[in-house]
A = this chain, B = another copy of it.
Amino acid sequence: MILGIDIGGTTIKFGIVTEKGEILATERHDTLENTKNPEDFINLLVDISRKYIASYPQVKGIGIGVPGQLSLDRSTLVQANNLGSLNGTKIVPLLKEAFPDLIVRLENDANCTALGEMYFGGHDKDDFIMIALGTGVGGGVIVHRKLFIGAKGNAGEVGFLVVGPKRQVLENYLGQRHLTNYVKEELSKPENADNSLHSVEDLTVESVYYAAKDGNQLALNVWDYVGELIGETVVGLAHSFDVTKFIIGGGVGKAFELFKDSAEKAALSYFSSYYADTFQLLPAGCEEDTGLVGAASLVLNELEDF
C-alpha cells in the first residue's frame, strides 16, 4: 500500500494506492491556496499524509509527482511553471523528517505517468517512451524498468524535438492551445468556409475529435497532421534511446485511433528494419487518476531495487 500525491496546476490529490493500482481513498486540495509558501505546502503534505498513514498503517512509502524540473538527486523541486513559490523546496528531506521510516520519492509528473504505465498500463514493458499529449507535451523514458533522467536530471522532454513543416518543437504544434489555433487557421481558409466546425461555439481539441469521428474531412486531416508530427518525433527518440515502443497518453492522446495510422506511416518511412521490426505505437493503458497511480509507482520502483 502506497500513499500517492499528485501535485497538479489546479489541485493536489492524495490517494491510497494498492500494489495492484487500485485507489482505496482519495482527496483533493486546492493548489493555489496551498502553495503560497513552502512551509504551508509542506505542512499540508505532512498533515494529510499523517492522517492517511494512521488509517492505513501498511503504507510502505510516499510517492510525489510534481509538474516541474527536479534536482539530480530527486530531493528538490528546482523549477515549476505554475508553482513559483515552491521553487527550491527540499520536499523529500522535509517529508523524511516527518516520516523517517517510510520510502519518500519525488519525481516529475510526466515521468510518474510513464512509471504508472509500466506497472499498471497492462503493457508489460521494460523499455518504452511515454508521450503525454496534454495542455503541453510531456514524456518519460523507461530503459530497463528505470526512468532515464539524464545528465542533469530532467531528460525525456519529448515535446521539445524540432520537427514538422514549421521547424518548431512538437509542443508548439500539439500543445492544446497550439493545436486549436492550427484548426482555426485551417477553418479560416476560403475552401473551408462551409465546414461544419464553424458552428462549434467554443472550438476545442475534443470538438475536432468528434468532428473527425463524424467524417469531417478537415478534422480527419488535422489528426493525420498530428500523427505525422508524432511519427517524426518518434524517429528521433528511437534513434536517441534505442527504444522502439511508444505509449501515447494525455487528453489529446485519447484520439489515438485517429492519428495512429499516419503516425506509424510517417515513422516507418524513416526507420530501417532494425527499428521497424520491433516498432510499436500504443495508447496508454491507464485512464483515470494516472497522476496519482504514477506517483505511487515511484515507491514500487524503489521497492523493486531490493
- Write the residues of chain A forming the contact surface with B, with a CB cutoff of 8 angstroms: 69, 79, 126-127, 141, 143-144, 149-165, 167, 169, 232-233, 235-237, 239-244, 270, 274
Contact = CB atoms under 8 A, between A and B. Distances in A.
A273 B69 CA distance: 13
Contact of A161 (B154, B156, B236, B274): B236
A153 B242 contact: yes
A172 to B, nearest CB: 9
Nearest to A232: B162
Contacts of A242: 149-155, 157
A158 B161 CA distance: 12
B169 A235 contact: yes
A241 B151 contact: yes
B274 A69 contact: yes
Contacts of A144: 151
Contact of A169 (B143, B157, B270): B270
Contacts of A149: 242
A33 to B, nearest CB: 28
A267 to B, nearest CB: 10
Contact of A150 (B69, B169, B233, B241): B241
A192 to B, nearest CB: 24
Contacts of A169: 235, 239, 270
The 10 closest A-B pairs by CB, nearest first: A150-B242, A127-B151, A160-B239, A161-B236, A157-B239, A155-B242, A162-B232, A151-B243, A152-B242, A150-B241
Given A79-B274, A127-B152, A151-B144, A161 B239 contact: yes
Contact of A167 (B126, B232, B244): B232
A155 B143 CA distance: 11
